[in-house]
Structure 1
Amino acid sequence: MRVLISIIHSGQTEEKPKAEVTIKPAQHVFRGDTATLRCDINGEGVTKTLWHKEGLTSVFSELQEHTFSSVNESDAGKYTCYGSNGSDWSQISDAVTLTVSERPKPKVTIKPAQHVFRGDAVTLRCDINHEGVTSWSYSWYKEGSTSVFSDRQEHTFSPVKKSYAGKYSCKGSETEGSRWSQMSDAVTLRVSDPRAVLSVSPQKWLTEGDPVTLICEVYSFSTGWTFSWFTLTVSADNSHHYNLLSDSSRGAGGNYTVSSAALNHTGVYSCRAEREKPAYKTQYSNTQLLWVTGVSPPVSLIVGSSRTQHFTSVSLSLSCEDQSNSDRWRVRRYTDGGRLEDCSSLHRGSQTGSTCTISSTNTSDTGVYWCESESEAKYHSVNITVHLSGVILESPVHPVTEGDHLILHCLYQHTTSPNLRADFYKDGSLIQNQTTEMSITTVSKSHEGFYYCKHPERGESPKSWISVRVFHSESQICFLNILSSVLTVCPYLLVTVMLIFKCGRMRGKT
């Protein structure tokens, strides 16, 4: 016992000892924790204790140790005590503050991304922001398991396997103490195989001589990919073959450029990517159809219904016709679903000679159809669309020649009178309203564009592109050639005449 002797006059007095408050495990605790207040005098126990809390006038406890089994915010505050070892009481202690805060919630981050490719490296990190705890120990859990698979703040998977995909969460416990955090929200790690994606720039429909670029990309943060390009063909037994382009660059750049497209560039293309570290080769990419149009194809694809838009559950006939009426042509198609198919391989299709018949159309029949020779030369594509319901536009399959008479109808599937009274639009502008047919007596190049019809109750048809072909007779072509030659020579003739005239005037003066 600490004794202070002071001399006052001739007598001696002893100062009372001062009580001391301690809080375990710490003065700063989390809501729900256990906190114990203890009152000591000179480091020794006391037989009697009186506890006070700032703001309260009454004694709330007479125990030397007072425990809050589940602390909440109302328990926070400043506490004092004084005690007795016998008949005499100590001085009141200094106030000690108990702070109660919400239990911290960790945050899980995944770098470089939550979606990674098999073979890459990925790091999980657990962060707990709280000033009251200087050091944390970590526990990592994967959804579906109660066992801890890592005790580090950062855990790295390298290389990543597909089995590592799933939801991950973490929590922390005080390294030198008894406090712990909440469980974090789960964060999902997705693991997939790298996928090559093929696109075309500037467009898929080309004229001879146009430039075009195939672009192969792997959407990921990883680098080091090299690329190859292929054409997709269908053999007589309807099996698919990927043929590596002979001039296919295998460099790091994912572009394959054709500076001047030719007819033999028409086809279905695909690409794939590969890398060395970690070693991986992607599957073949999506496919893209490139179509190069010539001036005068040797064969025409004739559609039996003479329109490009069709309803489901109807019969559709497509024929390849050339001047010799030969049967060496087959109808093939490339669907919106990315399938390259021969007519004879279709579940509802059959090929007789050069004619393909689809017994009952389905929306999956939407795509590009063309005629293909035995040497795999492709000619005269037609874009066919099949619609489940609503209205469709009856428009010509092939380009309209300048000067022709053009008639468009709006058709509805479920009616005895298929021609609807509807509004007709060109490039989004109303051109005729409430009529059963739209008629253009003499077609010109200015009539080229996207057309559709709209019925107030049945709805709006898909858009159809109507192309106008400008035709010149042999005499017109001859006249244009002569006129072009004359215009080319005219400047030289004019200069010659001016020189002769000038020379004549100079001789006259002389």
Structure 2
Amino acid sequence: MKLSQLPLVLLLISNISSQHTEARPKVTIKPDQHVFRGERVTLRCDIYSWRYSWYKDGSDTVFSDKQEHAFSSVTESDAGKYSCSGSEREGSRTSHISEEVTLTVSDKATAVLGVSPQTWLNEGDPVTLICEVNSSSTGWTFSWFSLLLSGNSNHYNPLSDSSRGSGGHYSISSAALKHTGVYVCEGERGDPVYNTWFSNKQLIWVTGVSPPVSLIISPSRTQHFTSVSLSLSCEDQSNSRWTVRRYTDSWRWLEDCSSSSSLSGSQTGSTCTIRSTITEDTGVYWCESESGEKSHPVNITVHHGVILESPVHPVTEGESLTLRCLYQHSTSPNLRADFYKDESLIQSQTTGMIISNFSKSHKGFYSCKHPEKGESPKSWISVTASHSGSQISVLHTFTSVLTVSLYLLVTVVLIYKCCRMRAESVEEQ
């Protein structure tokens, strides 16, 4: 071959190569590579001004020739590995086949609701509800609801002060008694809109400083044996009508004591009576008025065997707390047992435990355990500020204000006298 012919040969090789070695196209999937059955999904192949060919799972069969291929309602059978290639509309050049992109299709999406820092709160505490969609985080916005009881039915009531957003957080800066209740969330994305299932239910209960009504429980403890009578009453100083309401762990819905689902319960006035307790009566109970006012909630546990005798309401700071371990099947129910706080042993082999000066450091989950009879459920015991402490604080504030007022009064009087003396001095001159 003559050297003069070499550039021509290189040009021919370049032309042949250019017909088959264009840049590799890129596949994108909207709204995400992990989607859920029923969503609208779009595959897009990006090479400007070319024809397109779509392939699935390595097959050389073209199933679509559009730049965007949409599944109006994706199913599990659409899951797989997708790739595309392009060819020039007015020419003979073709591209490489793109890298494969995997489309995963799961069953109907479900939102998951969590609470931070905890579900049991004191009035004034901050709390945040966190809504997520398992295995997926792209493009979701969220709605928030509280569970509302109407008659014997539960309904999801949109929170009026919640705002939609992609963050998945709903925050309450200062919890109040009115925030006691059951909450759920829901996610959505896409166009047309695709909604998740409602999330799991999360109960938040708030202990207030001065509730408008108190829930009185007889016997006065949070844990109770099965097959016994239990009385719950709403007591206040007004003529308001109060109803005992509960959210049970077993059924996961709101109900009144007089509802048809409470087969052993009845309500007379503001008093609820459960004639024969069963483990399904375990749940959170509170008093609620027709206007939505609420009492301190009480977490009641019904258990057979060993239970912990603990107070119904939070312990006042500085007061003593007495705990006992009781056994259902004994003529002398008081057991010699071990006592635990937050699963750590704090006192062993005693018929009762006394904390003489209860403080914030003592709040937590308490339980007791007998080596043969078994272990009680856990009870959350919290603390409230002492009334005397509040009085001292008010007295201190009053004293401070009075001192400042007297100081200002004396200062004004002295200034007045000084000015008057100066005026008299000028007149004498």
Fold-level similarity (TM above 0.5): yes
| Number of residue equivalences | 332
The letter for the 2-side match of 1:331 is: V
Task: Give the RMSD, CA atoms, in angstroms.
Answer: 3.8
Distance in 2 between residues matched to 1:251 and 1:463, nearest whole Å: 37
Distance in 1 between residues matched to 2:373 and 2:152, nearest whole Å: 40
Distance in 1 between residues matched to 2:61 and 2:135, nearest whole Å: 26
Would the alpha carbon gap of residues 276 and 295 (structure 1) be closer, same or farther in structure 2, given more than 3 Å must change?
same
The letter for the 2-side match of 1:296 is: S
Distance in 2 between residues matched to 1:374 and 1:284, nearest whole Å: 27
Select the structure of larger CA radius of gyration.
Answer: 1
Would the alpha carbon gap of residues 391 and 272 (structure 1) be closer, same or farther in structure 2, given more than 3 Å must change?
same
Identity of aligned residues (%): 63
The letter for the 2-side match of 1:464 is: S
1:339-382 CA distances to partner (integer Å, 9 max, x unpaired)? 12221112222111111122222222222111100112222100
Equivalent in the alignment of 2:20: none
Equivalent in the alignment of 1:497: none
Residue 253 (structure 2) pairs with residue 333 (structure 1)? no
8 Å contact kept, 1:226–1:252 = yes
Residue 366 (structure 2) pairs with residue 451 (structure 1)? yes
The letter for the 2-side match of 1:371 is: C
Residue 144 (structure 2) pairs with residue 229 (structure 1)? yes
Alignment of 1:431-450 (within 5 A): 431-440=346-355, 447-450=362-365
Alignment of 1:32-111 (within 5 A): none
Alignment partner of 1:214 out of 122, 129, 153: 129
Equivalent in the alignment of 1:118: 38
Gaps of 5+ in 2: 1-31, 44-55, 64-68, 81-103, 406-429
Alignment partner of 2:338 out of 423, 446, 460: 423
Would the alpha carbon gap of residues 365 and 272 (structure 1) be closer, same or farther in structure 2, given more than 3 Å must change?
same
**What SS class does the counterpart of residue 411 from structure 1 fall into?**
strand
8 Å contact kept, 2:306–2:326 = yes
Alignment of 1:50-449 (within 5 A): 116-119=36-39, 158=71, 164=77, 191-221=106-136, 223-235=138-150, 237-277=151-191, 279-324=193-238, 326=239, 328-337=241-250, 338-345=252-259, 346-387=262-303, 389-402=304-317, 404-440=319-355, 447-449=362-364
**What SS class does the counterpart of residue 364 from structure 1 fall into?**
helix
Deviation at 1:295, TM superposition (A): 1.6
8 Å contact kept, 1:307–1:395 = yes
Distance in 2 between residues matched to 1:458 and 1:122, nearest whole Å: 62
Distance in 1 between residues matched to 2:390 and 2:115, nearest whole Å: 38
**What SS class does the counterpart of residue 472 from structure 1 fall into?**
helix
Distance in 2 between residues matched to 1:247 and 1:456, nearest whole Å: 51
Gaps of 5+ in 1: 1-110, 124-138, 141-149, 169-188, 490-510
1:132-179 CA distances to partner (integer Å, 9 max, x unpaired)? xxxxxxx99xxxxxxxxx96699999466567499x9xxxxxxxxxxx
1:436-479 CA distances to partner (integer Å, 9 max, x unpaired)? 33345565666544432221111222222333442317874465
Higher relative contact order (CA closer than 8 Å, sequence separation 6+): 2
Would the alpha carbon gap of residues 455 and 334 (structure 1) be closer, same or farther in structure 2, given more than 3 Å must change?
same
Deviation at 1:260, TM superposition (A): 3.1
**What SS class does the counterpart of residue 155 from structure 2 fall into?**
strand
More helix by share: 2
Would the alpha carbon gap of residues 471 and 284 (structure 1) be closer, same or farther in structure 2, given more than 3 Å must change?
same
TM-score (norm. length: structure 2): 0.65
Deviation at 1:393, TM superposition (A): 0.8
8 Å contact kept, 1:393–1:409 = yes
Distance in 1 between residues matched to 2:394 and 2:165, nearest whole Å: 50
8 Å contact kept, 1:335–1:367 = yes
Deviation at 1:297, TM superposition (A): 0.7
Deviation at 1:278, TM superposition (A): 5.6
Distance in 1 between residues matched to 2:316 and 2:77, nearest whole Å: 62
> Structure 1 residues 376-385 or 222-231, which shifts more?
222-231
Distance in 2 between residues matched to 1:443 and 1:402, nearest whole Å: 5
TM-score (norm. length: structure 1): 0.56
Distance in 2 between residues matched to 1:445 and 1:214, nearest whole Å: 25
Deviation at 1:327, TM superposition (A): 6.1
